[in-house]
């Protein structure tokens, strides 16, 4: 079975023992180029595995996944990694860029630098709303209303209100190949 979509949710948690629903996350989704499901699991495991020491990285506290199918031939997988909250989000974004590159079977050569601008505001809003909906497992993406949007240092920064008056802050950036990622914080 080949995958039509892969996604990663990186959740920043305080402790591996705590059963918590953390407020801070990074979300990225993309369409891999003809990747078998088994290869996706193997590649995702490499995010947490250190081959030099033959142990899992100490900052990766938990790994899980959900597999889903739609129609007769559609399939996707979502990986969830709980990462120690003291790990820099820049390190995580660099790791996600590497994983998207591996999953996408891109050439090893550097990709052209992509620039987004305010003209892409609808795309930012869509990416942020989709990330909040999917990573926090909210009932309906239309229940998430945009409150405010700004352009800050090359990133789109948006505030949303969700069900039960939850407030979210989303920062949308992009990896070198233009794949968007969203850093999300549940404010209240």
Asked if the structure places residue 131 within a domain, the reply is yes
Residues 124 and 96 in one domain: no
Domain, as residue range, for 142: 118-186
- Which band of pLDDT confidence, cut at 50, 70 and 90, is reported for residue 151? confident
Q: What is the pLDDT at residue 130?
A: 92
Does residue 148 sit in the same domain as residue 177?
Answer: yes
Number of domains in the chain: 2
| pLDDT for position 73 | 74
Residues 42 and 93 in one domain: yes
Do 99 and 12 belong to one domain?
yes
13 lies in the same domain as 86: yes
d(CA 156, CA 116): 9
CB of 25 closer than 8 Å to CB of 11: yes
Q: What is the pLDDT of residue 139?
A: 87
The verdict on 126 and 69 lying in the same domain is no
The answer to the question of residue 109 being in a domain is: no
Whether pLDDT at 107 is above 60: no
For the chain, give the mean pLDDT.
78
Closest CA to 8 of 73, 72, 104: 104
Q: Per-residue pLDDT tens for 31-68?
A: 777 777 777 777 777 666 677 787 777 677 777 778 88
Residue 109, pLDDT score:
45
The burial of 102, by beta-carbon neighbours within 10 Å (0-12 exposed, 13-18 middle, 19 or more buried), is given as middle
Q: What is the mean pLDDT of residues 19-30?
A: 81
């Amino acid at each position: 079975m080949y995958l039509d979509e892969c996604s990663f949710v990186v959740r920043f948690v305080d402790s591996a023992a705590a059963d918590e629903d953390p407020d801070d996350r990074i979300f990225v989704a993309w369409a891999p180029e003809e990747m078998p499901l088994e290869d996706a699991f193997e590649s995702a495991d490499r995010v947490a595995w250190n081959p030099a020491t033959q142990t899992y990285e100490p900052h990766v506290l938990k790994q899980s996944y959900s597999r889903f199918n739609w129609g007769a031939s559609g399939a996707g997988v979502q990986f969830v990694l709980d990462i120690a909250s003291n790990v820099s989000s820049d390190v995580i974004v660099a790791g996600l860029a590497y994983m998207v590159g591996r999953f996408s079977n891109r050439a090893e050569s550097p990709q052209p630098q992509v620039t987004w601008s305010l003209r892409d505001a609808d795309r930012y809003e869509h990416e942020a709303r989709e990330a909040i909906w999917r990573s926090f497992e909210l009932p309906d993406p239309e229940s998430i209303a945009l409150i405010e949007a700004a352009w800050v240092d090359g990133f789109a920064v948006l505030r949303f209100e969700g069900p039960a008056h939850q407030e979210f802050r989303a920062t949308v950036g992009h990896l070198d190949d233009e794949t968007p990622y969203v850093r999300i914080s549940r404010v209240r």
